[in-house]
Structures are given as structure tokens and as C-alpha cells.
A and B are shown apart, each in its own frame.
Chain A
Amino acid sequence: MQAPSTPDPLKQITGAATSAAPVTPPARHGILARLEPYLYLLPAFLVFTVFLALPAFGSVILSLTSWNGVSWDTATFIGLENYIDAITDRRFQIAFWHNIVLIPYFVLLPLLLGLIPAAVVHQLKLRGARWLQAGLFLPYIMPGVLIGVVWAWILNPIFGPVNKILKNMGFSPPTWLGDFTWALPTVGMIGAWAAYGFCYVIFIAGLQKIPSELYEAVRLDGANTFQEFMTVTVPGLRREIAVVLSVNLINALRAFDIIKATTDGGPGDQTQVMALYMINTAFGANRAGYGTAIAVLLALITLIGSMLVLRFMGEDDA
């Protein structure tokens, strides 16, 4: 699973400039003293600039060219043409749509599957659920490829257990990852499976931070369980929900590992997603400029998505 993106990087930036003033060392003059902070930053700065900032900048430049990735002199500047091509490219549109379709599976389903049991467990003050938490959390730390490989064989229509059980029960199940209608939802469910335990654990931890006085207060007002949930639990978990939404949204938009290990975009284009399409065009089809433009679009879409989530959750900040 990808790194969680930190909510509100913007707040952090403004925070850095104006919050608690750092300590100024006692009068130490000299160039060395003034250079000190910069020296601390130097090694990180070098690695970061060369291997992240530079390629990031390079992405923008590259996306404005047409290049087959062979030798530098074959690159030609074509402005925003790649972006226009991408937006009008039917295969990109399909890929984009598929990422959107994955959102309910990757984001909403795990949220509910994590939130509701967590709320119930917290309410009933169940103990001893610690080791259960371990099991639930496990899929989250596995590499996406592994999850894909494991599920691919389990869903194999001939060799895998799922269809065997279903057939024994008398059903005639589809071929899941090979089925035109079912492939994308199946991938979605695999993603939901990987994420729900993570959500549960985050919510359980968050719930413990909600002061019980709040619950008592609304109970005195005669609220029932559902009202308790809506007025105390959900707002109390605002930050956790924001985190869960952001992280899983990013996983939905940037989905790659699981798909590569299960369907590789197929059957047909049914599980094609933006990240996969990007790699195929940039390297497979030797269109480095076009592929990079798609990558930049992917980054922008992810950024907008994350900001929307934060905005949406921030609105509840009464």
C-alpha cells in the first residue's frame, strides 16, 4: 500500500513560518554559524533534488515533447498537444473512468466496514480484540503484487477454491478476473479486502480518544444509538476519516500493483487504469512524452482528489 499522504500540507507550510519560534543560539558569529542550518539540510537536499525534484521538473518538460525515448536529439517540443491528446484519447478516458469506479470499492466500502464494527466494538466496550486487530491489519502491510498473486490463484476458475466451493453449492460462477463484467468489480473487492482492516484499526484507535463525557451528554439528552453515532462518533473521528479517505483515494487513483499481478488491464480494456496505461504508453509504446503527460495528469487528479477530501472533511469543522 502507498504511503499515507499527510492531510493539509498547506497548513504545515504556513505553520513552519509562523508558529513557535525556533531557539536562536547564543551569539555565535561567523560564516559557519550562519551556514549551520544549511549544512544540516545539505545531504538530504542533494539526494532529494537529484532524484526527486529534478525528475519532477523533468516530467513537466518531457510531457511537452514528443519523444520515443531513444536518443535526445529525436525529442521535439510540441507544447500542450500531449495533454489534448490524452484528454481526447478514448483509452485514457476509459482508464480514468475505471479509477473512478474503483473509488467506491477502495474507499467507501472499507470505510464502512471499518467504521461500523469499530463503533459497535467501542460502544460495547469489548476487550480482548487486540489479537483480532493483528489479523485484520495484516493485508495492509503486504505488497500489492503479493495480494494480486494470492487472489489471482484463489479466484482461478479451475484451480482456485472460490469457484470450486461455488460450483459445489450448485452455482455456475463467472470467471471473475477473466470475465468482462466482473473483472473490475473483482479488482475493487480485492482492494476493499486489503483496506478494511486498516480502517478498523485506525478507527478503534481514534475512538479511544473521544472523551466519554460527550457520549454521556447526548445520552442525557435522550439520544439513541444512531444519534450518538452521528453526533459524537462521526465528528469525533473526523481526522481519522479524513486520513482513511485520503489514503484510500490515492490508492484508488494510483492503482497499479494489484492490477499488474492479476489482469494486466484485461480482459480487453476492462481493468485498464491510468497508472498502467501510463507505463504502457511511456515504455511499451515508446511514447515517452505522451506517457509522461498522462503521469502528470494522474498526479494532478490525485492532488485535486486529496484536496477535495480535505476540503470536504474540513467543512465539518463547525
Chain B
Amino acid sequence: MSIRSAWGNLSRSIVYLVLMLGCVIAIAPFVVTILASLKTTGELVQGIFSLPEEAQWKNYVQAWNDGHFSRFFLNSIIVAVGVVIPSIVFSTMTGYAFARFRFKGSGILFAFFLLGLVVPLQALVVPLYYLLREMGLLDSLWALILPQIAMSMSFGTLLMRQAFLSIPREIMEASIVDGASSWTTLWQVMYPLARPMIGTTALMFFIWTWNEFLLPLVVNIDPKYQTLPVGLLYFQQRWTSNIPVVAAGATIIFLPLVAMFLLFQRQLVEGITQGAVKG
């Protein structure tokens, strides 16, 4: 073996090691947390990687019941689905409108829809709170769903317009020549062709909504209407001195996300990288 290839092999191994180290560091905190969630506080103080004598599943029961995680989970799902589906439907419609039609004011309207890219939630949340108060929507799931649909509009419109523009014009023309209405063209022809993009967009919306923290924190005080991220914070504050239980709560939250990630990994990574870069 020449020195060159020996060096090649060595550097390969080193790089692999570094990559693995990076990967380990990325997931170690979660692994350690799972381990901690099965211990008692006493065992926790003793050793880090030591296994518990008896897996303390009651920590999970406590988190699920006392910590109301069952409620938070349900709310998170309702809100996520309630945001993603309308957001996809609406963005498809607006993206289509801007891609297919030429109409007065389209430039201004498009810019208007892009407003959400520029305005962060932080700049909205204070007046939004008072607006929701006036509408009597505080402490409801609507307070979470409606604003988040609005917040998805900018990115959604942008992406969907992009997706539709990249479909060859001939296809759309053919459908029109066939006498199809624009609505039919959209849902029967364009939409199926844009499915990959729609899929990844939906995935991204789901994750952003699932992870949303500031909005639920501010507008919903009643835990009946609270979502998982805020629920976790309340939980941490209440059980602060019982770390295994807090760890159990944290695990309840990240395991589904890990599952989702593994299932949709390719789409997710593709979506975030392509979607962000394509712009």
C-alpha cells in the first residue's frame, strides 16, 4: 500500500470518526434524557450512564396525567392539522393565482402576501393578543390556528407559485384548450404534478406549527388549550426538583418528532434545503 493510499485510508477513518462524534454529540443529550427519565432522583445523583435498578415508568404516567401531557398532545395535533391543511389549500390557491393569471394589482398583492416573510411573530404578538381579546378568542385553539395559517401564507404562496411556474406551460395550456375550468385544472392537473413540493411544504408547516412556542404562551393561559411546547415549560417549572419526571415529559415530546423525522427524513431534509435555497 502506497503512502498516499495509506494516508487516504487514515484520513478517511479520521473523518468518519469526526462525523460520528458530531452525530453522537447531536443525539447524546436525548439519549441521556431518556435514560434519566427511567431513574429515581437518587439514582440520578449517583451515576450518569448507570442503568436504573428498576425502570421508573411511573415517571411517564405522572407526566402524562399530572402533567396533562395527554391534553397538550391532543391540542398540538389538532392545531397542527388545523393549520397545515388550510395553509396548503390556501397557498395552492394563491400560488396558482399568481402563477397562472395576469391581473391588475398582482404585483402589489404578491408583495403584500410576502409581508409575512419580513414581519416576525414577535412584532405581531402584542397587537395580535389584544385583537384576539376583542374577538373573544383568547384561550381557544382558534387563537392558535388562525394566526398560524396567516403566518404560513407568505412562505406557502411563494413556494406554490414557484412549484406551479416550474410545471411546463404546455400542460396547463392543454387543459384549458380541453375546456377545463381553472379550478379543475388546478386540482386535477397542477396539484398532482406539484405533489412533491406540496408534501415537503406540508411537512415544514407541520413542524413549525408543532414547535411554535411564543404564540401559545401569550394567548392561551388555560392549560385546556395549551400545546406541547408551552406545556413542557409549565411542567418543568412545576416539577423542577424532580428531574426524572421532567426528563420523562421531554421524552414524550421528542419521541414522536424523532419518529416523524425517521419516516419523512428524506422529504424533510430535501424540503428544508431545497425550499430554502431555491427561494
Contact = CB atoms under 8 A, between A and B. Distances in A.
Interface in B252-279: 253-254, 257-258, 261-262, 265, 268-270, 272-277, 279
Contacts of B169: 20, 23
Interface stretch (A48-56, A90-98, A211-219, A226-234): A48-56
B254 A47 contact: no
Contacts of A31: none
Given A3-B208, A41-B97, A121-B19, A9 B253 contact: no
A278 B151 CA distance: 20
Contacts of A261: 232-233, 236
A159 B243 contact: yes
A2 B276 CA distance: 12
A24 B106 CA distance: 14
A294 B279 CA distance: 29
Contacts of B131: 50-51, 54-55, 58
B25 interface: yes
Contacts of A132: 19-20, 22-23
B73 interface: no
Interface in A1-57: 1-9, 12-13, 16-17, 19-26, 34, 36-38, 40-41, 43-45, 47-48, 50-56
Given A40-B96, A51-B150, A196-B22, A25 B182 contact: yes
Contacts of A200: 22
B117 interface: yes
Contacts of B122: 254, 256, 275, 278, 295, 298-299
Max chain B CB contacts within 10 Å: which of A113, A153, A298? A153
B16 A126 contact: yes
A53 B115 contact: yes
A16 B229 contact: no
Contact of B218 (A7, A23, A279): A279
B211 A143 contact: yes
A152 B250 CA distance: 12
Interface of B: 8, 11-12, 15-16, 18-20, 22-27, 29-30, 32-33, 36, 41, 44-45, 48, 86, 90-91, 93-94, 96-103, 106-107, 109-120, 122-131, 146-147, 149-151, 153, 155, 157-158, 161, 165, 169, 172-173, 176-177, 182, 204, 207-208, 210-211, 213-214, 217-218, 228-230, 232-233, 236, 243, 246-247, 249-250, 253-254, 257-258, 261-262, 265, 268-270, 272-277, 279
Interface of A: 1-9, 12-13, 16-17, 19-26, 34, 36-38, 40-41, 43-45, 47-48, 50-56, 58-59, 61-62, 69, 113, 117, 120-121, 124, 126, 129, 132-146, 149-154, 156, 158-159, 161, 164-165, 193, 196-198, 200-202, 205-206, 239-240, 243, 247, 250, 254, 256-257, 260-261, 275, 278-279, 282-283, 288, 291-292, 295-296, 298-299, 302-303
Given A202-B273, A283-B218, 8 more contacts: A37-B106, A48-B150, A121-B19, A138-B261, A161-B48, A202-B272, A260-B217, A275-B122
